[in-house]
Amino acid sequence: MTVKFGLFVPQGWKMDLVSIPDPIAQYEAMTAVAKEADAGPWDSVWVYDHFHTVPEPTMETTFECWTVSATLARDTERVRIGQMVGCNGYRNPALYAKIASTVDVASHGRLNAGIGAGWYEHEWRAYGYGFPETPERMGMFREAVQIIHKMWTEDKPTFQGKRYAIDGPINEPKSAVPGQKVSMWIGGGGEKVTLKLVAQYGDACNVGRDPETCRHKLEVLQGHCETVGRDYDEIIRSAEADVFLTREGEDPVAATAHIRGDQPFEEYAKGKIIGSPDRVQSHINDLAEAGIDYVIVYMPNLAHDRDPVGRFAAEVIPAFA
């Protein structure tokens, strides 16, 4: 089974830059991981669109995703650059489309432009965006995707919705290559709105982490594609994986001690794949069998130790080439 792989760089959102005191050194540590991936078989590097850290907001660095995307586009040569995913509520969709078009050109056509409805309430309220109820946020998202698609495919498009409107905006250049649309990655597994938008407009989707959940969501997506007459196989089908690679004979509890601190191993391990390359391969095989053909990997501590980037590239990726 052929699977492509992307890598999240340490951006700060997951508290992965806190032990580097200097902000310039933090940024360069993030860039160094992207360059490491650029030199190997990784297909892409990714950032999150968040302003505050998780699992709770702290006074720690979180670099803004589109600024990062632009700089990584210039600091790398081969890998694609993506956001998983851009939060619709943080930027007017017409502006989002213009930003993405610019970054696509800066990357020489290597942009994966992620878009989603957004969920992190603390950020929304802190930055003055309010936090609309879910039906309203999904209505905003539906209209935004239509506007973005128009901005990338039409000259002086128009749109009048309940939440957004555009009236002939000029978006030039639309992408790095005339006639080639920016790649739209739609994140989320909502079956009534999000997956319908993927079938209509998406070049790729991101539907979760668990193989069985992915299988179900992709079956729903396939049904939506049949309804609108879209070729399901045109759509890249991605999932995320939090990975901690251990070495042969290494105890996972001891190996993760410096990362998890006082957090019990059982709690830290929830939702993560911790183990040998064989263990990781097994999980990715399960995702592939569920219909996933693209896996975006997060690995902790890369700002301090980039060795797992090379190990994953050498010991996992070749099994799916």
Structural domains in the chain? Answer: 4-242+276-320 (3.20.20.30)
What is the DSSP track for 14-47? TS-STT---HHHHHHHHHHHHHHHHTTT--EEEE
The vertex-181 CA angle with 177 and 184, nearest 5°, equals 135
Residue 187: which of 48, 60, 304 has the closest Cα? 48
How far is the C-alpha of 196 from the C-alpha of 202, rounded, in Å?
9
How far apart (Å, rounded) are the C-alpha atoms in residues 248 and 183? 39
Average pLDDT score over residue span 282-302 = 98
Please name which of 88, 99, 70, 69 lies closest in space to residue 8, comparing C-alpha atoms.
Answer: 69
User: Is residue 210 very low, low, confident or very high in pLDDT (cuts 50, 70, 90)?
Assistant: very high
Nearest to residue 17, comparing CAs of 1, 31, 5? 31
By the 8 A CB rule, do 306 and 36 touch?
yes
If pLDDT is split at 50, 70 and 90, which confidence band does 202 have?
Answer: very high
What is the DSSP pairing of strand 158-160 with strand 165-167? antiparallel
Query: Would you say residue 216 has pLDDT above 90?
Result: yes
Please, which pLDDT band fits residue 1 given cuts at 50, 70 and 90?
confident
pLDDT in tens, 91-129: 999 999 999 999 999 999 999 999 999 999 999 999 999
CA distance 187 to 116: 5
Q: What is the pLDDT of residues 130-172, one digit of tens each?
A: 999 999 999 999 999 999 999 999 999 999 999 999 999 999 9
The confidence score (pLDDT) of residue 248 equals: 87
Q: Give pLDDT tens digits for 14-34.
A: 999 999 999 999 999 999 999
* CA terminus-to-terminus distance, the chain: 8
Q: What is the pLDDT of residue 189?
A: 95
Average pLDDT over residues 56-79: 98
For residue range 233-253, list pLDDT tens digits in order: 999 999 999 999 999 889 999
Of 183, 156, 171, 176, the residue nearest 97 (C-alpha): 171
Alpha carbon separation from 282 to 238, 267, 303, 314 (Å, rounded): 17, 22, 27, 16
Closest CA to 290 of 245, 246, 242, 241: 241
How far apart CA 70 and CA 103 sit, in angstroms, is 5
Mean pLDDT of the chain, nearest integer? 97
CB 295 within 8 A of CB 3: yes
